[in-house]
Amino acid sequence: MTGEVRAIAPLYVDLIYSGFDALPGPGEEVYTKAFDLQLGGGAAAIPVMLSRTGVPARLGTFLGDDAISRLAVSLLEENGLKQYENLYRGVGRPVVVSSAFSYGGDRSFLSFGDEITQADLTDAACYDFLKGAAIAFAPQGRPEVVKRLHEDGTILLYDIGWTPGMQLSDYADILQYVDYFTPNEKEARQLTGEEKPEDALQKLGEAVKTPVVKCGAKGCIALHKGEILQVPAVDCFTPVDFTGAGDNFMAGLLYGVYQGWPLVRCLQMGNVFGGYSTTQLGCYKAGLTLPQAMDFLRYYGTAVEKRGQEVFR
């Protein structure tokens, strides 16, 4: 495949604290055993991670004239992404800064930002940035933009965050044009009302071409031509922090799509990217390279497709 992978996404700067017994109360101070300053995740992880593998990728984001925005730019370039465009024309502070407290698997956050996102752009501005891309992260709440991109032949991936009470019908106007939709188990259950991931996957398949449910340490499942593909996680990673694993999974999946690989191999690469990212604090700290990813992919073994499942040998 030729052409770029593009996404529109805000940037986050994370101040990550770990190695502590409890958070301080009023008037108290607690020293942690570890600290790091990193670029946060979200859809921005897709162009960042893909650029590391040599796939041409571009990010449309929101940067102000303030210290946090300048810090975000330095972190973005430190992570290897040179192709980005500032879509913000205001005078606020659009980059979100978060104090992240890591509990050895999950996190809690204290964040600040002016909550400036793609919702502040016009449809025309969104489309102008994404048009011509080979693959794009479908913008949320922009059905007309997604429709035009679909008609252009752009391959579209879509992902959402958890919202209480969300239903599949809320996203039907976008999902009908999307190629890959990647909710996690909790989101899939809420969207469909189905308790079993496989049942939720089948219902998602009524709304979108290729639904993929991210199942954490169990790997992922996908519906492809009416068949359920079960792709287990890589079993050689020791997780430290799960934050950003889903974002990295999407990047790995799209790496395979860009290369024209069969879906199972794309999902394996998603599991490699996502699993490896958990071995260090933060979304990018693990620093996966393409040679490493290919080594882990070979470790996976050869996938033998059978009806309704994947057997690895």
Q: How far apart are CA 70 and CA 139, in angstroms?
A: 25
Mean per-residue pLDDT, 22-37: 92
With pLDDT > 90 as the criterion, what percentage of the chain qualifies?
Answer: 73
Flag whether pLDDT at 184 surpasses 70. yes
pLDDT digits (tens, 9 = 90+) for 198-215: 999 999 999 999 999 999
One-letter amino acid of 90: G
CA dist 254 and 201 (Å) reads 20
**Quick check: helix, strand or coil at residue 14?**
strand
Q: Band of the pLDDT at 26, cuts 50, 70, 90?
A: very high
| CA gap 313, 301 in Å, rounded | 6
- The H or E element that residue 144 is part of is helix 143-152
pLDDT exceeds 80 at position 232: yes
Question: Do the Cβ atoms of 144 and 114 come closer than 8 Å?
Answer: no
Mean of the per-residue pLDDT values of the chain: 90
CA distance linking residue 61 with residue 125, whole number of Å: 12
CA angle 245, 250, 251 (to 5 degrees): 95
Q: Reduce the DSSP state of residue 177 to 3 states and report it.
A: coil
DSSP 8-class letter at 184: B
pLDDT tens profile 163-173: 889 999 999 99
- Write the CA distances from 311 to 29, 68, 308, integer angstroms: 52, 48, 10
The H or E element containing residue 231 is: strand 227-231
DSSP state letter for 65: S
12 pLDDT above the threshold of 70: yes
Across the range 287-293, mean pLDDT stands at: 93
Query: Are the C-beta atoms of 279 and 244 separated by less than 8 Å?
Result: no
Say if residue 177's pLDDT is above 50: yes
Residue ranges and CATH numbers for the domains of the chain are 41-93+120-312 (3.40.1190.20)
Say what the pTM is: 0.91
- Gap between the Cα atoms of 214 and 167, Å rounded: 18
Best CA proximity match to 177, nearest among 156, 162, 191, 193: 156
- 235 confidence band (pLDDT: 50, 70, 90): confident
pLDDT confidence of 104, banded at 50, 70, 90?
A: low
Residue 261: pLDDT above 80? yes
The per-residue b/e assignment along 120-152, b for 16 or more CB within 10 angstroms, e otherwise, is bbeeebbbebbeebbbbbbbbebbebbebbbee
Residue 106's pLDDT band (cuts 50, 70, 90): low
Instruction: State yes or no: pLDDT of 107 exceeds 50.
Output: yes
How confident is the model at residue 240, as a pLDDT?
Answer: 83
